[in-house]
């Protein structure tokens, strides 16, 4: 059972990620990137400008839209490496799924069908690839995740980057290209409005966001990653549950004719991502899904109250769909048939922009999430 | 002037890249990736299987083909970091161009027009982004390269990956998506055959391949990167000449109606990349372009003969176009008008598969390049 451990609360900034140093670059990059949009006119094409600031970039290619993205796994592989040292078990098949999930779960928010994934596996040296069991697990997990998502694995890069990537480590990322077809599937929020329902899709645990904090927490636990968080389940094993893949849900919704007005992948910033769309709308959640034990454990051990926990982690909801109110139950049913637990959890209201999680008494105002 | 330095020859394997450790993984990954192609049938689409093993992956999307890729810069940023320490000059605008070039120059080999670039900038920690001059140079160089190539910068990732990427370093990559339109621009080599001409496009220097060897060589030079390779030009500065961007050439060729049968980006393995296509064809080069001083210097100092130098570095030819013989002069002229020096350098013959560089007396047999 969880080890009660008296200590000071642990925030994301204490875990070593200093957003204030990254943000000026991000702003400069966003501005420079936006200025390049006019290049598409030279090819008789145009960007869908509403996709700037969304989770994937969309170009109007005529008969359909093109969507593309590159996403990084983050630091979750460090947990896999440590658990391998502690238990001998290799988790790189799960890590492969996490990496692909980071890309495809973002890509589908705009209504795209993911078609091609490219692998980016940058190792600290050639010797990373000499561990055949680990390398084969990465390959097998990558293939299986592609097949689960209906995407073709196009190829990729496997550089050995001694001097840039740490010895014995690997920097994993995935690029994904897809199409929005028919064009009516575009879900950038144009139709998002009061009366829409919020349908939440289950997460499997921490997914691949918040790992810096989770790793920092492990350092404070006397038994570290081997701390039992439930009978027979260690903290490290629980952290390594692979991120759920949501493309089967969005493809099933399209096949069933359930319209999606908007979608948000709940990653960094946790439930504050429900505030992602720029419209001045209110979001009211009337029921929250069950919290995965590993997230309950982290919140307790890190001393987070509900506002900090739900504003940092997915807390059991890995993806949000915003659909017409009268489609909400059908949306959840289709998701369940596609293999993912789902709940009609709330509704969209007139503004001001804010998120109210009624069962928890938590309110995030519009300034709780600044992405653009 | 170049420093004459007696020492043992330096091969690529001595420079720390052990291909025999990477290759089993690459083979396994290629097989697993190929098996995922059938996933596209679920969306009513299909891959262009001839693109497997080529520089970009191609999907038949109906009205046009979709092409996508992810490419890594490699270790060139380490040279920029060292030159910053030695001279105070920031080279990250050039490094940005190199990174984009790695992606777009590969993407265009299949006949695609690059449309969207995604940035992958994974730093060793948040503090990398605190150097405002360097961060702004990276942004400005990235934007300028996108504009030169007519692509939109869609967005990207700027993770801080302490524990995975080395402190103070950055792992740079670019993903690119494009379309082949009209479909007749597809240049996977179906029409490649005897009588075609080989048109070579100039390089600016080492580009972004062979840097591991070039860095190793710097360690053997008494003045290292500050060694003068020509009056007023240091070895380090010369290495950092940015990779040329070839999309303006391929777009100009399309606009001029010059058909391209096949194209090869001359990167790792140097001129052996001319053997890239699987057809059993011969390639005869009758004239070689001028060798950039930095590559001449490396070949001499590393003790390479012509076969090793041309089999490792681009030696002045960054890109090869295979066009109908009677279009060769026009192809070169269009390239020059687009701003890149070009030469009609040779021709394609009946097999056996081999590359003959007549002026150098160098022959590479078909087993000199094994990519699939």
What band does B368 get if pLDDT is binned at 50, 70 and 90?
confident
Interface of A with B in 173-202 (CB under 8 A): 173, 175, 177, 179
Residues of B in contact with A25 (CB under 8 A): 129, 135, 139, 158
Residue A341 CB neighbours (<10 A):
16
Q: From B125, which residue of chain A is nearest by alpha-carbon distance? A: A17
B74 interfacial to chain A (CB closer than 8 Å)? yes
Condensed to tens digits (0 to 9), the pLDDT of residues A185-196 reads 999 999 999 999
Residues of A in contact with B175 (CB under 8 A): 68-70, 118, 120, 175
Answer yes or no: are the C-beta atoms of A126 and A268 closer than 8 Å: no
pLDDT of B1 strictly over 60: no
pLDDT of A372 strictly over 60: no
Q: What is the largest CA-CA distance in chain B?
A: 62
Mean pLDDT of A100-124: 98
- How high is the pLDDT of residue A368? 85
Q: At B293, phi and psi to the nearest 5?
A: -50, -35
DSSP annotation of A347 reads E
d(CA B359, CA A43): 41
d(CA B330, CA B253): 9
pLDDT of B331 strictly over 50: yes
Q: Which residues contact A159 (CB under 8 A, 6 or more apart)?
A: A121, A122, A123, B72, B74
- How high is the pLDDT of residue B25? 84
Residue B339 CB neighbours (<10 A):
12
- How high is the pLDDT of residue A5? 36
- How high is the pLDDT of residue B3? 36
ipTM of the complex model: 0.94
CA-based nearest distance A231→chain B, Å: 31
pTM score: 0.95
d(CA B156, CA A363): 30
What band does A24 get if pLDDT is binned at 50, 70 and 90?
confident
Residue A151 CB neighbours (<10 A):
29
For residue B218, CA distances in Å to B223, B310, B371 come to: 8, 20, 29
CA-based nearest distance A170→chain B, Å: 7
The DSSP secondary structure of A192-220, one letter per residue, reads --TTEEEEEEEP-SSTTSSHHHHHHHHHH
Interface of B with A in 235-264 (CB under 8 A): none
Per-residue burial over B19-45, b if 16 or more Cβ lie within 10 Å, else e, is eebbeebbebbbebbbebbebbeebeb
The dotted CATH code for B40-185 is 3.30.1330.10
CA-based nearest distance A140→chain B, Å: 7
What band does A163 get if pLDDT is binned at 50, 70 and 90?
very high
Mean pLDDT of B218-228: 97
Nearest C-alpha neighbor of A152 from the set A176, A172, A122, A181: A176
Mean pLDDT of B281-310: 98
Residue A251 CB neighbours (<10 A):
18
Condensed to tens digits (0 to 9), the pLDDT of residues A237-286 reads 999 999 999 999 999 999 999 999 999 999 999 999 999 999 999 999 99
B213 interfacial to chain A (CB closer than 8 Å)? no
Nearest C-alpha neighbor of B335 from the set B240, B266, B236, B258: B258
What band does B4 get if pLDDT is binned at 50, 70 and 90?
very low
CA-based nearest distance B187→chain A, Å: 17
d(CA A153, CA B70): 12
A312 interfacial to chain B (CB closer than 8 Å)? no
- How high is the pLDDT of residue B49? 96
- How high is the pLDDT of residue B343? 98
Mean pLDDT of A349-359: 97
Sheet holding A57-60, edge to edge: A46-47, A57-60, A65-72, A170-180, A113-123, A152-157
Mean per-residue pLDDT over chain B, rounded: 94
The dotted CATH code for B197-368 is 3.90.650.10
Distance, C-alpha A169 to centroid of its chain:
22
**Residue A367: is it exposed, middle or buried by C-beta count within 10 angstroms (0-12/13-18/19+)?**
exposed
The DSSP secondary structure of A303-339, one letter per residue, reads T--HHHHHTTS-TTEEEEEEEEGGGHHHHHHHHHHTT
Condensed to tens digits (0 to 9), the pLDDT of residues B249-286 reads 999 999 999 999 999 999 999 999 999 999 999 999 99
Of B72, B77, B177, which is closest to A159 when you measure between CB atoms? B72
Looking only at the bridges linking them, the beta strands covering B281-285 and A233-234 are: unpaired
CA-based nearest distance B345→chain A, Å: 30
Q: Which residues contact A123 (CB under 8 A, 6 or more apart)?
A: A129, A158, A159, A160, A161, A165, A169, A170, A171
Condensed to tens digits (0 to 9), the pLDDT of residues B47-66 reads 999 999 899 999 999 999 99
A132 interfacial to chain B (CB closer than 8 Å)? yes
Listed by start position, the domains of chain A span 40-185, 197-368
Looking only at the bridges linking them, the beta strands covering B233-234 and B196-202 are: unpaired
**Residue B23 preceded by cis peptide, ω within 30:** no
DSSP annotation of A368 reads G
Q: Residue B199 in 3-state DSSP?
A: strand
- Dihedral over Cα of A261, A267, A273, A278: its sign: negative
What band does A15 get if pLDDT is binned at 50, 70 and 90?
low
Q: At B370, phi and psi to the nearest 5?
A: -120, 105
State the count of interchain CB pairs (< 8 A) between A and B.
275
Residues of A in contact with B115 (CB under 8 A): 40, 43, 45, 59, 66
B40-185 and B197-368: identical CATH topology: no
What band does B24 get if pLDDT is binned at 50, 70 and 90?
confident
| CB-based contact A22 B165, cutoff 8 Å | no
- How high is the pLDDT of residue A371? 67
């Amino acid at each position: 059972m969880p080890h009660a451990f008296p200590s000071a609360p642990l925030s994301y900034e204490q875990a070593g990620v200093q957003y204030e140093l990254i943000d000026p670059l991000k702003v400069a990059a966003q501005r420079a990137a936006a200025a390049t949009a006019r290049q598409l006119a030279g090819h008789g094409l145009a960007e869908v400008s509403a996709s700037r600031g969304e989770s994937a970039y969309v170009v109007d290619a005529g008969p359909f839209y093109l969507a593309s993205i590159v996403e990084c796994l983050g630091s979750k592989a460090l947990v896999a490496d440590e658990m391998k040292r502690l238990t001998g078990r290799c988790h790189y098949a799960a890590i492969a799924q996490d990496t692909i999930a980071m890309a495809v779960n973002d890509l589908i928010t705009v209504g795209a069908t993911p078609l091609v994934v490219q692998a980016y596996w940058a190792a600290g040296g050639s010797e990373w690839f000499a561990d055949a069991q680990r390398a084969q697990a990465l390959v097998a997990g990558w293939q299986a995740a592609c097949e689960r998502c209906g995407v073709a694995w196009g190829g990729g890069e496997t550089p050995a980057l001694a001097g840039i990537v740490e010895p014995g480590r690997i920097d994993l990322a995935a690029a994904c290209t897809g199409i929005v077809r028919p064009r009516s599937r575009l879900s950038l929020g144009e139709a998002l409005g009061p009366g829409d329902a919020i349908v939440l899709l289950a997460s499997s645990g921490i997914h691949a966001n918040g790992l810096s904090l989770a790793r920092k927490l492990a350092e404070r636990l006397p038994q570290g990653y081997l701390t039992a968080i439930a009978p027979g389940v260690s903290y490290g094993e629980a952290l390594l549950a692979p991120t759920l893949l949501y493309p089967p849900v969005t493809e099933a919704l399209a096949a069933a004719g359930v319209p999606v007005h908007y979608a948000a992948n709940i990653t960094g910033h946790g439930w504050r991502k429900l505030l992602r769309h720029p419209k001045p709308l209110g979001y009211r959640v009337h029921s929250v899904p069950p919290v995965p034990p590993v997230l309950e454990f982290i919140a307790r051990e890190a001393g987070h109250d509900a506002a900090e926990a739900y504003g940092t982690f997915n807390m059991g909801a890995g993806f949000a769909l915003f659909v017409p109110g009268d489609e909400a139950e059908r949306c959840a049913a289709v998701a369940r048939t596609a293999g993912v637990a789902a709940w009609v959890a709330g509704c969209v209201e007139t503004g001001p922009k804010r998120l109210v999680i009624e069962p928890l008494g938590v309110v995030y105002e519009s300034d709780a999430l600044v992405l653009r």
